[in-house]
């Protein structure tokens, strides 16, 4: 992680009018509407998946987009030289497989991390349907746009946050995703090993473990049950403020 070098003379906070965020209810509604619209206009093929199941693999011919109706899924990017990295987590209502459109071939693995249902949508049929139903096209573009915006947030976190804060931010994001979908957010079952989390966040499994221990010591999170995979998050705000604290350890700047 490097210092937030001032690459622009104007402080960002000063010129960015915080974009108005939909609140949770809206997101849940949007997802429900999306699923309903897809189901009504298209021949959706449903598939039940279990933890570890491959939804698609890098290199496979692209023919379908997928939408997660329930469950949880990770996206893993692979380099030809063997490096691999978890580059995304997907929740109910999220689309999978956009990356395959450009080269007619998937460039990532998508792996289920829990029991769930995936809707498969033939891309050619989707295109047809978009011609007939502009709302469908809007919705599709919106989903792609959202994914891009989120990827950039991820890059920002990877580059500007220290390890502890990155783990906190990761938990905050996850519980946010749950909240948006109307699920309880005070308890969170990590369905990834420390190694996977570390891979996702660009750090080692030991660093993840230490970060979690520290967060627990500071009462920002707690472990539920005996396994160390179930977390209690009494206050999501505490996670956010932990992140904020770690990027401004010496906040005593007079002007600016």
Partner DNA sequence: CGTTCGATTGAGGAAGATCAATTAATGTGG
Partner DNA sequence: CCACATTAATTGATCTTCCTCAATCGAACG
- Distances in Å between the Cα of 222 and the Cα atoms of 17, 152, 194 are 35, 29, 16
Tell me how far, at minimum, the Cβ of 238 lies from a second copy, in Å: 16
Tell me how far, at minimum, the Cβ of 80 lies from DNA, in Å: 21
Contact indicator for 109, 78 with CB cutoff of 8 Å: yes
Site for DNA in 2-31 (CB under 7 A): 2-3
Site for DNA in 161-200 (CB under 7 A): 162-164, 190, 193-195
Given the rule CB under 7 A, which of 42-50, 112-120, 142-150, 222-230 is the region that contacts DNA?
222-230
Tell me how far, at minimum, the Cβ of 10 lies from DNA, in Å: 14
Is residue 227 a contact point for DNA (CB under 7 A)?
A: yes
Contact indicator for 219, 241 with CB cutoff of 8 Å: no
Dist CA 251 CA 249 (whole Å):
6
What mask, x for binding a second copy by CB under 8 A, covers residues 213 to 242? ------------------------------
Q: Residue from 32, 87, 183, 224 that binds a second copy (CB under 8 A)?
A: 87
Which residues 6+ apart lie within 8 Å of 40 measured at CB?
A: none
What mask, x for binding a second copy by CB under 8 A, covers residues 17 to 36? xxxxxx--------------
- Distances in Å between the Cα of 143 and the Cα atoms of 32, 43, 97, 154 are 14, 19, 12, 17
Quote the tokens at residue 19: 């974009």
Is residue 86 a contact point for DNA (CB under 7 A)?
A: no
């Amino acid at each position: 992680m490097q210092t937030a070098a001032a690459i622009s003379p104007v402080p960002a906070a000063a010129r960015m009018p915080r974009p108005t965020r939909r609140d949770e209810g809206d997101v849940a509604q949007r997802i429900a509407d999306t699923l309903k619209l897809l189901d009504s206009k298209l021949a959706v093929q449903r598939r039940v998946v279990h933890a570890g199941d491959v939804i698609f693999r890098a290199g496979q011919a692209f023919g379908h987009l997928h939408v997660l109706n329930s469950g949880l899924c990770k996206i893993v990017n692979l380099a030809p030289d063997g490096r691999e990295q978890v580059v995304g987590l997907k929740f109910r209502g999220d689309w999978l497989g956009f990356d395959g459109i450009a080269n007619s071939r998937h460039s990532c693995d998508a792996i289920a991390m829990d029991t769930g249902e995936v809707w498969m949508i033939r891309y050619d049929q989707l295109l047809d349907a978009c011609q007939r139903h502009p709302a469908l096209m809007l919705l599709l573009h919106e989903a792609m746009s959202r994914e891009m915006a989120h990827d950039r947030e991820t890059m920002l976190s990877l580059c500007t946050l220290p390890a502890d804060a990155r783990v906190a931010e990761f938990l905050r994001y996850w519980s946010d995703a749950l909240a948006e979908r109307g699920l309880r957010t005070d308890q969170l079952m990590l369905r990834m090993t420390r190694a996977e989390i570390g891979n996702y966040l660009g750090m080692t499994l030991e660093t993840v473990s230490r970060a979690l221990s520290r967060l627990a010591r500071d009462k920002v999170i707690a472990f539920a049950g005996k396994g160390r995979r179930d977390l209690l998050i009494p206050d999501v705000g505490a996670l956010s403020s932990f992140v904020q604290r770690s990027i401004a350890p010496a906040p005593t700047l007079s002007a600016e």
